[in-house]
Chain A
Amino acid sequence: MSTTSEAPDTTTATKPKLKTSAMIASFADPGQRTAPAPFGHALVAAAEADPRIVGLTADLGKYTDMHVFAKAFPDRFFQMGMAEQLLIGAAAGMAETGMIPFASTYAVFAARRAYDFLCLDIAEPNLNVNVVGGLPGLTTGYGPSHQATEDMAIFRGMPNLTIIDPCDSVDIEQAVPQLAASPGPSYLRLLRGNVPTVLDEYDYTFELGKAKQLRPGTDVLFISSGLMTMRALQAAEQLAAHHVDVAVVHSPTIKPFDTTTILDELQQDRLVVTLENHTEVGGLFEAVAGVAVRAGSGRRIVPVALPDRFLDAGALPTLHERYGLSTNRIVQRVLAELSRDGAP
C-alpha cells in the first residue's frame, strides 16, 4: 500500500495500454495457418461413417466445438446441462447400450469434478467413451479455475484410459476416428476454435499409441506433446541458427506411452529435453523419466513444463513467456543447459 501523500496520476493519456486475457486468448501465432473447429468437423465425419457415435456436453457445446456436431446431428446430440457427473455417468450408460459417446467439457471439470464417474463407470468397465477436455494446461488466462495444468497427472493413474495430447488440427482430425474405433475409453486434450495447422509440413500421420520423429538432430533431443510440439519445432529452427542440431519427437499419446520409440531415441548421446503444456508433475516429463530409469539410464532430462504451483491470470503470450513455454524461453533454456553441460 502506498504511503505517499501525493495524488495519483489519473489521466488516461499517460497510462500504457494494458494487455488483457480477453484480448489474447489464442496460442496461435499471428499469421499462422489454422483450421476452424477441427474436433467438431472430425466428429461429424466420423459420425457419418458410424451411426453409433453420439455427442454430449455439459453446457459447453459452443466452447468445445461440439456445436458443429450438434448442428449436423441434432438427434444424436445430448445437452446434459452444467452437470459434469451426469455428463460422464450418462455417457457411460449410453456406451453400455452400444453407442460410442464423445463427451465434452473443460479439462478442469472433466478431471476435477467428474473423476470418480470417469474412473468407475467408464474406465473400470473399459467402455468406449471419449472424453474431450477443452482448455488443457495453460491455454486460457482465466487463472486456476480454468487452467487444467494437472489434468494428465490426474488421469495417468487411471487404468484403461488412453490419454491424447494433440499438437494441432492435423492431430485432432486424425485422432478422432481412431479414438472412435478403439475399444476402450480416452481423454483428448482439446484444442478448440481456430487451431494451428503444423504437422502437415512433415512426413507425419497420427497413430494411436505412437510417438513419431518429426526432424532428426544430433545435439539435442526434444520429446514433446500437445501444442508444445509446435513450439519445439520453432525452437529447433531457431537453435539451428546457433549451430545446435535438434531432433523433435512428438508423442501425442501420453498413455499408453510409446516406450519403444522413446527408448530408441534415448540411445543417442544428446541433451534430452521434454516439452509439455502441463505441470512438471505427473505428465510427459515423468513418463519419459520413468521409461529411462526402468531401462537403467541415469541420464539427466530437462523438463520444459509449467511449475508446480497455481498460475497467474493474464494474457497467454505473457503467461507462456513467464512460465517458460514460449519459443524464446525454450531457446534460452536449451542454450543455458548446453553451456552448463559444455558446448556441443
Chain B
Amino acid sequence: MTLAPVTATPPSAEFAARVAEVEESAYRARHYALNMGEVQGQGYVGQALGSADMFAAVYRDQLRYRPEDPHWAERDRFLLSTGHYAIGHYAALAEAGIVPVDELDSYGSDDSRLPMSGMASYTPGMEISGGSLGHGLTVAVGMALGLRLQHSPARIFNFLSDGELDEGSTWEAAMGAHHHRLGNLTALVDMNALQADGATRTVLGIEPAEEKWASFGWYTQRVDGNSAQALLTALDTIADRAGATAQPSVILCDTKVGKGVPLLEQREKAHFMRIEEHEWQICREQLTAGHEGKASA
C-alpha cells in the first residue's frame, strides 16, 4: 500500500500561493453553493460544502481546459459520477469561468442549464450524466483508453463518493483500469462517511478502503479532503509519477459534510439536508467569519 508521503521540508512560497488560491476558490464556491441551495430551499448543500476543497484543488490547480471552448479536444476530463453533487460542480464551473456566476441562481429551476442532478446535455463542462451511481469510473476507463489510443496527453479525473464503493461496477472499473495500465486516470473519492440511508459504516461497510484500492492495483493515497495543502500534495505526487508509471491513482479524501459552516457541520447528518429559511443568512455569515478568522490567523 502507498500512502501520502510526509512532507519533511516546509512548503515553498510558490506552493503556499497555490494553496491559498485553492482555499480562496473553495471559499467562493461554498458561498455559491449556499446561494444555490437557498433558491431551492434545500438541496445537497452539505455535500457541496464538504467537497468544495476537492473541486477547487482540481479545477483551480490541475485541470487543463479552455473556458470559452468546453469541448476543446485536448482538455483534461473531469467526470462527475455522483450526479447529486452537481451543485458543487456548478460552483466549480462558475469559478472556472465555464458557467456564468449569474446563472447559478437558476439551479434546479425549470428550463435551467443547471439541473439538480448533473447531465452532460444540459451544462457546458459537464462531461457525463452521473446520478445512477457506479457509472462514472466505467466511463472514465473508456475515456482513458480512447484518449491514449489517440496519443492525447489529456488526463481523466473521476469524482466519486464513498457510497459508490458499494456498487460492483466501481470495482469492475477499478480492475479494468489497472489491467489496462491507465496512468492517465485519477479517481477522487469523497469519503464523507454518509450515504442515503445513513452513515456509510452502518449501510454497507467499505473500510479498509485504502487496502481495497491498493489491492486492486491503484496508487492509493488517503488525505484530509478539506485541506488544500494535503490535496495539492497528493495531486502533485500523482503528476510527478504520471510520466513514469502506467498505474491509475486514487485519492481517498476524508471530508466533513457541511464543512465551513458550523451550524451545518453540527447538524444531524443527512443525505438531503433541510435548512430553514432564516438559516441561510446565518450559514453565510458563519462561512465568512470562519474564512476571515482563518485568513487572519
Contacts and interface: CB of A to CB of B under 8 A. Distances in A.
Tell which of A81, A93, A98 has the most Cβ of chain B within 10 Å. A93
A81 B175 contact: yes
B146 interface: yes
Nearest to A126: B121
Given A81-B175, A81-B176, A125-B120, A89 B143 contact: no
A93 B150 contact: no
Contacts of A96: 127-128, 139, 142-143, 146
Nearest to B142: A93
Given A85-B168, A85-B169, A99 B138 contact: no
Nearest to A75: B149
B141 A89 contact: yes
Interface string A61-98: 00000000000000110101101011011111111111
Interface string B130-150: 011011011111111111011
Interface residues of B, number: 32
A319 to B, nearest CB: 33
B172 interface: yes
B173 interface: yes
B129 interface: yes
Contacts of A98: 73, 146, 150
B145 to A, nearest CB: 6
Contacts of A124: 121, 129
A183 B143 CA distance: 18
Given A90-B141, A94-B145, A97-B150, A117 B169 contact: yes
Contacts of B128: 96, 121, 125
B138 A121 contact: yes
Contacts of B139: 89-90, 92-93, 96, 121
B172 A86 contact: yes
A85 B127 CA distance: 19
A94 to B, nearest CB: 4
Contacts, number: 102
A81 B179 contact: yes
B267 interface: no
Nearest to B120: A125
A116 interface: yes
B180 interface: yes
Tell which of B73, B127, B139, B169 has the most Cβ of chain A within 10 Å. B139
A83 B172 contact: yes
Given A83-B176, A85-B168, A117-B169, A97 B138 contact: no
Contacts of A163: none
B59 to A, nearest CB: 20
Contacts of A78: 145, 180
A80 to B, nearest CB: 6
A330 interface: no
Contact of A93 (B120, B121, B143, B169): B143
A263 interface: no
Given A76-B149, A83-B172, A86-B173, A93 B129 contact: no
B249 to A, nearest CB: 17
A93 B145 contact: yes
A93 B132 CA distance: 16
Tell which of B141, B144, B168 has the most Cβ of chain A within 10 Å. B141
Contacts of A54: 146, 149
Contacts of A92: 138-139, 142
Contacts of A90: 138-139, 141-142, 145, 173, 176
25 contacts: A54-B149, A80-B176, A81-B175, A81-B179, A83-B172, A85-B172, A86-B141, A86-B176, A89-B142, A90-B138, A90-B145, A90-B173, A93-B138, A93-B139, A93-B140, A94-B145, A95-B142, A96-B139, A96-B146, A97-B142, A97-B150, A117-B138, A120-B131, A121-B128, A124-B121
Interface of B: 73, 120-121, 127-129, 131-132, 134-135, 137-147, 149-150, 152, 168-169, 172-173, 175-176, 179-180
Given A94-B145, A98-B73, 17 more contacts: A76-B149, A81-B176, A85-B172, A89-B137, A89-B141, A89-B142, A90-B141, A90-B173, A92-B139, A93-B144, A94-B143, A94-B149, A96-B127, A98-B150, A117-B138, A120-B129, A121-B135
